[in-house]
Amino acid sequence: MIGQLHALQSRVVDSTAFFGIGLWQLLGRAGRHSPQEWDDYVRNWLTRGGEEFYRVPDKIPEGLSEGRMSFASPVMGDQEENNRFHLRVWPGTKGLKSPAMVMLHSLFSASDVGYAHWASVLNRLGWTAVFYDLPYHFRRRPKGTWSGEFVFGGNLIRSAEAIRQAVTEVRMVTRMLKASGAPEVGLWGMSLGGWVAGLALCHEPDLACGWLVQPIPDVATAIWDSEGGWVLRRQMEERGLDRERVEKLLPLVCPSHGKLQLPSKRVLVVGGSHDSVAPPSKLRALSEGWGGAHYREVGQGHIGYQAMPSTWRWGRELMPELFIGKYLPVGRSWN
C-alpha cells in the first residue's frame, strides 16, 4: 500500500512538472527545421564520428580561480549568450591542486543553491567543487527565455548541438582542472547533467569517477515513451519526424552506445523506481552494458529530493578510496 502511494505521489509530481515544462515548449522559441535538414545533419555527423563530434581544441583556456568565471565555448551557435560557458569554483584544501568534482545540473534548473551545499560538503573532505552551467541555462539563456527552454524546444538540431557543446565543454573543464594541478577529476551529474556526464565518461580518458543521477540513457524513450515528451512528440509528428528518423543519431548522443574510458567500479548510476523519463530498466541495462557499473535505486519519480543525498552516501561507500587518507584534511572524519 505504501509503495502504491509513493508511486502515485511520484506520478503526480512528475506530471505536474512535465505539464508546466510542456507549456514552455509550446512557445516554440527554439526555432524549427525541416526533416531534410535533420537527415543532412545526422548523415554528416555519423560520417565524421563521435571523436569529431566531441572534439576538444588543442589549446585549453587558462585562468581558473575561486568564484565565478566564464570562457568562450569551443562550439559556437547563433545565440550570443550561449557562446560562453560559466563556472563557479570552490577550491579544496590544497586550492586548485586538490582533487575536483564537476557538478552538472538537471534540465530547467533555475538555482545553484542546492549545489552550493554539496560544494561545501566536498570542500570539507578536501575536494574542489566546480558548478558548470549547461547550455541555455542560467547566464547562458537567451534574453526573454526560461532557463533550459532552448535545449528541448522542438528544434532537434539545436538539441543535438547543445549536447555536443556540453560534452565538449565538460571535457575541456576537466582538462583545465588537471592543468591547474588537480590530481583527480570526477563528474557528478543529475538528469540532463547525468546524460552529459555519461557521454563525457565515454570520451574523456583518465577521469576519477562518475556519479550519474537519473541520467537520460535514451532520448527516444524520453520523448516517445514518457509523460515528459508530450509536447515534443506532437511537434515532431507535425514536422514529419518520426521515431525511426530521430533514432538515427542515437549512436552519437546516447550513453548506452558508448564505452567507458574508466573502470566500471568507479561509476555509479542511480535510478528512480517510478521514473518514466529515465526508466530503471534502461538504467540497469546501461550499468550492465558498461561492464557492471554500480546501480542503486531510490523510491521516487524523475523529480524528487532523495536521489542526490543517496548518491553522495552510496558514492562514498562504494568508492571510499576517493575520500579516505590522501585528500582528507588532518583531523577530519569522512563520515
pLDDT tens digits along 76-129: 999 999 999 999 999 999 999 999 999 999 998 988 999 999 999 999 999 999
Query: What pLDDT is attached to residue 335?
Result: 54
pTM of the shown model = 0.92
- The domain total for the chain is 1
What pLDDT band is residue 306 in, cutting at 50, 70 and 90? very high
CATH code, 137: 3.40.50.1820
Rounded percentage of the chain residues whose pLDDT exceeds 70: 89
Extended beta strands in the chain, E state: 67-72, 84-90, 100-104, 128-132, 185-190, 209-213, 267-272, 294-298
Which long-range contacts link 66-71 to residues 24+ away (Cβ below 8 Å)? Answer: 66/90, 66/91, 70/139
Does 333 reside within a domain? no
Residue 17's pLDDT band, with cuts at 50, 70 and 90, is low
Would residue 136 count as lying in a domain?
Answer: yes
Residue 30's pLDDT is 81
In a domain, 334, yes or no: no
CB atoms within 10 A of CB 16: 11
Grid cell for residue 54: 566531441
The whole-number average pLDDT for the span 160-186 is 98
Span 142-171, average pLDDT? 94
Q: Is 100 domain-assigned? A: yes
Task: Assign 216 to helix, strand or coil.
Answer: coil
Residue numbers of the domain that contains 9: 2-322
Reported confidence tier of residue 224, pLDDT bands at 50, 70, 90: confident
Is 276 part of any domain? Answer: yes
Q: Is residue 164 one of the residues assigned to a domain?
A: yes
Q: Is the confidence at residue 274, as pLDDT, over 60?
A: yes
160 found inside a domain: yes
In a domain, 137, yes or no: yes
If you average pLDDT over every residue of the chain, what do you get? Answer: 90
